[in-house]
Amino acid sequence: MAGTFKYAHSASVLGHVSLSPFYFFISYSLRLLPFRVCTYFRVVEVVVEFAEIVVVEATAALAAVVVLLLVVALTPSLIVK
């Protein structure tokens, strides 16, 4: 008898909640939450990886410019000697 009441009560509560306009949205959002978190982490990972590539490439380009400037600056003094 107690089990029957328990199931009847659960059914009535679920029936009442399912009429709420936000129930579907909340349950759908909670089901997608792990996917969204993984997606956000993937996006952050891609952005960080891209930033690392940009920093490495910028450092390499800056080093190349410094070497080129040193060669241009030192070449006349080497030719004159």
At 7 the pLDDT is 47
Domain with 36, as residue range(s), is 2-80
Place of tokens 């679920």: 14
Question: What is the domain count for the chain?
Answer: 1
Q: Transcribe the chain into DSSP letters.
A: -HHHHHHHHHHHHHHHHHTSHHHHHHHHHHHHHHHHHHHHHHHHHHHHHHHHHHHHHHHHHHHHHHHHHHHHHHHHHHHH-
Place of tokens 């009429």: 19
Q: What global pTM score does this model have?
A: 0.45
pLDDT digits (tens, 9 = 90+) for 20-77: 666 666 666 667 777 777 777 888 888 888 889 989 999 999 999 999 999 888 887 7
